[in-house]
Amino acid sequence: MAEFKQKIKNLIDAKTTVKVPLIGSQDFWNISEKKSDSLLLKAVNSEKFVEKCDAELVSNIDQVYFNSSDFDFTKFELEKLPEVLDKKLIANDVKKLKVQHEIVEKQLLQLILENQAACDDELDKIGMLQNNLKSSLENCEHAKNRLKLAKRQITTAGLGLLGNCRKKSLILDLLNSLNSIKMLLQTEKKLEELVSQANYAKGIALLLECTQGASAFKQFTCIAALSIKLQDALIMTEEQLDIVLSNMCFNFDNEKYSAVQEAYRRLGKTRIAIDQLHMHYTSAVHSASFDTINLFVNADKVENNKNSFALLCQCVPDEQLISCLIALSKIYWNILQSYKKAADWHREFKDTNTDSEDDIEECVNQEYISKKFEIGPTRLWGDIITKISNLVFNSNMTKFKFDDFLQVLSILNKHIKIGEEFCNSKSEQLQNDTKKSCISYFHTYHKNCLDELTIFFENESWTPCPVKREFNLFQLQEFRTIKNHIQKSNSSGPTHSRSSSMDSSSISTCEYFHFSSDKSPFDNDLNTTYCEDILDTEMDRNSVCSDDTNNSYEDSDNYNVTADNYEKPPLLTNTTLTVMRHCGKYLKICNILKSISEDVVTCLCQLFEYYLYSVHLLFTSDTLPQICNGVNSVKLQSVITRICNSLIQCNHENQDLFIREPVALYALSLSDANNLYCVSERIVAVESLVFLGEQYKLLHSYLNTLLTSDTSSYSLQQFYNQTVAVAVDLRKPVYGRVICKSIDYNQVLSMMTKVNWEVKDIMCEHSKYVDYFLQELRAFFKTLKTSTSNIYLNEQVLYSIWEAIAVLVSSVFIEGFSLAKKCSNAGRALMQLDFTQFMSQINSICPINPFPHKELVEVYIKAYYLPETSLETWTRDHQEYTHKQLLAVINCVCQNNKRLRQKLTNLLEESQQR
If we measure between CA atoms, which residue out of 701, 332, 681, 347 comes closest to residue 497? 701
Helix, strand, or coil (residue 907): helix
Q: What is the distance between the alpha carbons of residues 216 and 163, in angstroms, rounded to a whole number?
A: 27
Q: What is the largest CA-CA distance in the chain?
A: 208
CB 808 within 8 A of CB 739: yes
* Winning range, highest mean pLDDT, from 105-114, 358-367, 513-522, 563-572: 105-114
The predicted pLDDT at position 578 comes to 94
CB 843 within 8 A of CB 779: no
Residue positions counted in the chain: 914
The predicted pLDDT at position 202 comes to 59
Q: What is the percent of the chain with per-residue pLDDT over 90, rounded to a whole number?
A: 24
20-28: average pLDDT: 47
Query: What residue type is assigned to position 659 of the chain?
Result: I
Residue 10 reports pLDDT greater than 70? no
Angle at 825 between CA 824 and CA 828, to 5 degrees: 90
Task: Provide the pLDDT confidence category of residue 377 given band limits of 50, 70 and 90.
Answer: very high
The predicted pLDDT at position 132 comes to 93
CB 288 within 8 A of CB 335: yes
Q: Phi/psi class of residue 427: alpha, beta or left (left: φ > 0; alpha: ψ in -120 to 50)? A: left
* Winning range, highest mean pLDDT, from 41-50, 149-158, 333-342: 333-342
Looking at 754-867, list the stretches that DSSP marks H as alpha helix, in order from N- to C-terminal side: 768-787, 795-818, 825-842, 854-863
The predicted pLDDT at position 188 comes to 57
If we measure between CA atoms, which residue out of 430, 321, 422 comes closest to residue 381? 422
Task: Provide the pLDDT confidence category of residue 28 given band limits of 50, 70 and 90.
Answer: very low
Q: What is the distance between the alpha carbons of residues 276 and 270, in angstroms, rounded to a whole number?
A: 10
Helix, strand, or coil (residue 76): helix
CB atoms within 10 A of CB 793: 25
Per-residue pLDDT tens over the stretch 225-275: 555 565 666 667 777 778 888 888 988 888 888 888 887 887 788 888 899
Per-residue pLDDT tens over the stretch 643-697: 998 888 765 555 556 688 888 766 677 788 888 888 899 999 999 999 999 999 9
Residue 809 reports pLDDT greater than 70? yes
The predicted pLDDT at position 902 comes to 77
356-370: average pLDDT: 78
The predicted pLDDT at position 19 comes to 46
Per-residue pLDDT tens over the stretch 606-637: 999 999 999 999 998 888 777 777 778 889 99
Task: Provide the pLDDT confidence category of residue 498 given band limits of 50, 70 and 90.
Answer: very low
The predicted pLDDT at position 20 comes to 47
If we measure between CA atoms, which residue out of 355, 354, 382, 350 comes closest to residue 369? 350
In sequence order, the β-bridge partners of residue 535 are 467
If we measure between CA atoms, which residue out of 583, 570, 579 comes closest to residue 691? 570
The predicted pLDDT at position 684 comes to 93
5-21: average pLDDT: 53
Q: What is the percent of the chain with per-residue pLDDT over 70, rounded to a whole number?
A: 75
**pTM, whole model, 2 decimals?**
0.71
Helix, strand, or coil (residue 587): helix
Phi, psi dihedrals of residue 798, rounded to the nearest 5°: -65, -40
Helix, strand, or coil (residue 467): strand
Per-residue pLDDT tens over the stretch 537-578: 554 444 333 334 344 444 444 455 443 444 678 889 999 999
Helix, strand, or coil (residue 535): strand
CB 534 within 8 A of CB 467: yes
Question: Dihedral (C-alpha) 781, 783, 787, 793: value to the nearest 10 degrees?
Answer: 10
> Would you list the DSSP string of 654-703?
-GGG--PPP---S---TT-TTTTTTHHHHHHHHHHHHHHHHHHHHTHHHH
Residue 880 reports pLDDT greater than 70? yes
288-301: average pLDDT: 83
Looking at 523-596, list the stretches that DSSP marks H as alpha helix, in order from N- to C-terminal side: 537-542, 574-592
Greater pLDDT, 73 or 511:
73
By CB neighbour count within 10 A (0-12 exposed, 13-18 middle, 19+ buried), where does 403 fall?
middle
98-126: average pLDDT: 85
470-487: average pLDDT: 85
Q: What is the distance between the alpha carbons of residues 124 and 116, in angstroms, rounded to a whole number?
A: 12
The predicted pLDDT at position 403 comes to 87
Per-residue pLDDT tens over the stretch 419-433: 998 888 888 888 898
SS (H, E, C) 14-64: HHHCCCCCCCCCHHHHHHHHHHHHHHHHHHHHCHHHHHHHHHHHHHHCCHH
Phi, psi dihedrals of residue 99, rounded to the nearest 5°: -60, -45
CB atoms within 10 A of CB 90: 14
Q: Residues 6 or more apart from 751 whose CB is under 8 A from it?
A: 767, 768, 769, 772
> Would you list the DSSP string of 488-555?
HHHHT-TT--GGG---TT-TTT--GGGS-TT--TTTT-S--PPPP--B-HHHHHH-TT-TTTSSSS-S
Residue 850 reports pLDDT greater than 80? yes
Domain spans in the chain, listed from the N-terminal domain onward: 90-170, 198-267, 269-298+307-423, 460-486+568-742, 745-865
> Would you list the DSSP string of 299-311?
TTT---TT--HHH
